[in-house]
Structure 1
Amino acid sequence: MNYILNIETATKRCSVSIAKEGKTIVCNEIAEEGYSHAERLHVFIEESIKEAGISYKDLVAIAVSQGPGSYTGLRIGVSAAKGLCYALGIPLIAVDTLKALAAQVRVESGIIVPMLDARRMEVYSAVFSAGLESKRAIQAEIITEDSFQEFDETLYFVGDCAGKCKTVLTKANFVFLEDVVYPSANEMSAFSYEKLVNNDFVDVAYFEPYYLKDFMIMTSKK
């Protein structure tokens, strides 16, 4: 059996799933304001392995959310994934964070726009068809009243930006699905299995998360 451990830590949600042949069989996750990833991640991994009734040697790959997202969160997830890959001698798979977020939406037509907060009015966003085909590459953008004006179809916005964006993005064809807030390891399962089948792996030694923007350390003015 092809068991894959999926790790999602790009946002405030710390999420782990075990998938068999691309189907999630166990998922443990929590979203907290304090970013408890460092404390929760390895606990969730251990619990998920146990609940799935397997051992680490049954895993054929580790999949990790590649970003964009929280710098610290991504580092924690990637470090854990790399450590397990080295220890178990299995490949590493990188999954698009925004595509996994968009996969929580089930619509027959229209456009899905996953967005993650990047401070102030800036977001990390991408654009997908209802069938999750890429319509626009991932980018960091500042949301204005003119954003997404080129689309006439119904746009379904998901992510943790609804609060700050829905007062600006007010066109009749803009719909905010506010129940879909953070990406989850649950939706990673199908994508990681597809990459396993296609031998689409990343280099364990050199892989880095997709931060999209340079990490900035804020220093005191004093």
Structure 2
Amino acid sequence: MGFILNIETATKNCSVSLAQAGNVVAIREFAGEGYSHAEKLHIFIEEVLKEAETNFSGLEAVAVSMGPGSYTGLRIGVSAAKGLCYALNIPLLAIDTLEVLARKLKITEGVIVPMIDARRMEVYNAVFDTNYNKKSDTKAEIITGDSFSEYTDICHLVGDGAEKCRALLPDNKFMYHNDIIYPSSAEMALLSYNKHQKSDTVDVAYFEPFYLKDFVMNR
């Protein structure tokens, strides 16, 4: 059985994993203050292939985190993924970044609200149930005291956009998981495997990241 290469660059975390049958066999990631994806991404790809004692010919597909997130980060990841798929003639899989982030947390009650910082008091977010089924549309939202008032269960907030919500959402129904900040390619492994099994692919030539917002120069 071949490998699937997973690329996650939607946030400050530059993350690459190599997976087989939904299980991670090698991973490299780095989250710095700046965006170092352009310098590290291809190095990480080469390192995970070497660790698994394989090469590009061993890849069955490439999966990329599709957004929302950093414009620059998404462009770098998607460009690399499309280039590999085109050169190797293998399928491209697109994975929802917020679901990747949500899957870093396992809960038995309530909902998971993954949040990616979108500047000032705005976050990219969606809501998932305990089985990671999406309960709301992905959106860019300015957080107010009324945000998520429609949910009466515990809301588990994760991601680098969560902490700035604490002052506006102090109610006990909000739980802040400060140790979960960025999505990782580790959580992409099972998602990409399932998509590959169902041939749920995207067009290599025409696929574009899910930016959700217009490009901002200093983002």
Where on the TM-score scale, by shorter chain, does this alignment land: which range?
over 0.9
Equivalence for 2:207:
207
Equivalence for 2:85:
85
Which deviations, in whole Å up to 9, do the C-alpha atoms of 1:26-51 show, x marking residues without a partner?
A: 11000001110000000000000001
Is 1:27 paired with 2:27? Answer: yes
Shift of 1:154: 0.7
Equivalence for 1:111:
111
Equivalence for 2:186:
186
Aligned length: 218
Classify the secondary structure of the residue corresponding to 1:200. coil
Shift of 1:137: 1.1
What pairs with 1:30-49 in structure 2 (closer than 5 Å)?
A: 30-49=30-49
What pairs with 1:62-77 in structure 2 (closer than 5 Å)?
A: 62-77=62-77
Amino acid at match of 2:192: S
**Aligned equivalents of 1:65 and 1:124: distance in 2?**
14
Structure 1 residues not aligned, in runs of 5+: none
Shift of 1:20: 0.2
Classify the secondary structure of the residue corresponding to 2:138. strand
Shift of 1:177: 0.4
| Matched-pair contact (CA < 8 Å) for 2:163–2:176 | no
Equivalence for 1:6:
6
Which deviations, in whole Å up to 9, do the C-alpha atoms of 1:65-102 show, x marking residues without a partner?
A: 00000000000000000110011110000000000000
Shift of 1:180: 0.3
Classify the secondary structure of the residue corresponding to 2:188. helix
Classify the secondary structure of the residue corresponding to 1:80. helix
Which deviations, in whole Å up to 9, do the C-alpha atoms of 1:145-175 show, x marking residues without a partner?
A: 0000111111100000233111111111100
**Aligned equivalents of 1:163 and 1:152: distance in 2?**
20
Equivalence for 1:124:
124
Amino acid at match of 1:203: D
Structure 2 residues not aligned, in runs of 5+: none
**TM-score, with structure 2 as normaliser:** 0.98
Classify the secondary structure of the residue corresponding to 1:150. coil
Moved over 6 A (4+): none
Amino acid at match of 2:12: K
Shift of 1:2: 3.2
| Matched-pair contact (CA < 8 Å) for 2:145–2:168 | yes
Amino acid at match of 1:118: A
Equivalence for 1:138:
138
| Matched-pair contact (CA < 8 Å) for 2:92–2:203 | yes
Shift of 1:54: 1.2
Shift of 1:214: 1.3
Classify the secondary structure of the residue corresponding to 1:116. strand
Amino acid at match of 2:76: I
Classify the secondary structure of the residue corresponding to 1:135. coil
Equivalence for 1:59:
59
Shift of 1:7: 0.2
Equivalence for 1:98:
98
**Aligned equivalents of 1:168 and 1:198: distance in 2?**
42
Q: Aligned Cα RMSD in Å? A: 0.9
**Aligned equivalents of 2:78 and 2:40: distance in 1?**
15
Shift of 1:109: 1.5
**TM-score, with structure 1 as normaliser:** 0.96
Equivalence for 1:171:
171
